[in-house]
Amino acid sequence: MKGQVQTEHLRNALNKILSVVDKKNSRPILSYTLFKVDNGSIEFSATNLEVSAKVITPANVENPGTFCVNAKNIFDIVRELPEGEISFEMKEGTNFLNLTSNNIHYSLLVYNYEDFPQLTFSKQENEFTMNSEQLLEIINKTFHAISSDETRLYLNGIYLQGIDSRIRAVATDGHRLSLIETEPLDNAADMEPLLNGIIIPKKGVFELKKIAESFPGKMLKISFDESFMYINAENKYFLSIRLIARDYPKYQAVIPSKTSYTMSADRDSLLGAVKRIKIMSHEKSNGVRMKLKKNSITISANHPSFGEANEDINVNYDGKEMEIGFNARYLLDTLQTFNEGKINLELNNELSPIIIKSSNSPNYIGIIMPLKL
């Protein structure tokens, strides 16, 4: 096996797959990447058996070959090599991969590829396409609300469901909820596997974000089977993600069917005030108070060891006066998902969930449960 590849191409490919390499060493072979060197390209694969990735990069290949090499070791090497061309060779009957860049030489121990798991990266039935920008928006609007409580596995991911030619994405940790719907998709008839909904785990969401950012504005092919989600980006970058095999809770029950009062505020003004007042909130609760009165709100916090703070903001509000407590971190996470401009906070009373909306994002809502202070 012999050939040449550009350092930049090799580095970028390894960087994409490195994050799915098994870090727990449950099986030694999972800390390796599978190299398939063929005519005109090198195919890299890695897996932790929950998420798998495959990247294909161009190369000049004189003789094909297949082998496994330690993923982190070869990435650490390639990361430090100068730009240019890397020559690679594995002589017949040996188990060493020789790398040469200018006057730099490495000999890496390789392992039998037959021990590497067999991976699947596509499901042709019910395949549909989605623009990478749509996928990225779904992730950016919902990722912050994913639960980290491992005792409630069904909340440890983003829930996707096909509804009337759209994809609805939901994430919640029981204290806040984010929901966004895409614009109608052209190939909605192929979304049948999504009708009952699927849950993408947090680790898979992280890899989805990476693939979407790697192909801005491009169409991604997406398909499912009973246990996995498959993504194909221009036949160059592939993902396979094991889905969470649980039923998602009835999130609709959290969303108020109607609200009595609406407060309109400048997003940046509210965001900045919450950031400043949060400094004086208690570390455990991150609690701040929001007192609503005619055309203004007062945000305040009191720390038993440091003191107190408050700030007044001009808003559009003509409802009854009330005081509501919030976890400032939850409020900040949600506010940061909105763009600049006006946002609306819809509510009923001091104990009911608050809905945050914006005319700039008509298909997105954030919901935060109030905090007792």
CATH of 257-368, one of 3.30.830.10, 3.10.150.10, 2.60.40.3080, 3.40.250.10: 3.10.150.10
Residue extent(s) of CATH 3.10.150.10 domains in the chain: 2-115, 128-251, 257-368
Task: Check: CB of residue 177 under 8 Å from CB of residue 367.
Answer: yes
> Is the alpha carbon torsion for 53, 58, 59, 62 positive or negative?
positive
pLDDT class of 194 with cuts at 50, 70, 90: confident
In terms of pLDDT, which residue wins out, 62 or 191? 62
CA–CA dist 10, 148 (Å, integer): 34
Task: Provide CATH code, domain 2-115.
Answer: 3.10.150.10
Q: Is the pLDDT of residue 344 over 80?
A: yes
Give the domain 128-251 fold.
Answer: DNA Polymerase III; Chain A, domain 2 (3.10.150)
25-61 pLDDT, tens per residue? 778 999 999 999 998 999 999 999 999 999 999 999 9
Mean pLDDT, the chain, integer: 94
Predicted structure pTM score: 0.92
Degrees, nearest 5: CA angle 204-208-210: 120
Half-sphere exposure of 210 (CA within 13 A, CB side): 21
User: Where does 36-129 have alpha helices with state H?
Assistant: 71-80
Task: Check: CB of residue 181 under 8 Å from CB of residue 194.
Answer: no
66-94 pLDDT, tens per residue? 999 999 999 999 999 999 999 999 998 89
Q: Is the pLDDT of residue 128 over 90?
A: no
pLDDT class of 318 with cuts at 50, 70, 90: very high
Residue 267 pLDDT? 97
For 180-227, give the DSSP string: EEPPPPTTGGG-GGGTT-EEEEHHHHHHHHHHHHHSTT-EEEEEE-SS
Contacts of 210 by beta carbon, 8 Å cutoff, 6+ apart: 16, 19
Q: Is the pLDDT of residue 156 over 90?
A: yes
Residue 188 pLDDT? 60
Residue 192 pLDDT? 74
Query: 348 is written with which tokens?
Result: 């009923």
N-terminal to C-terminal alpha carbon distance within the chain: 68
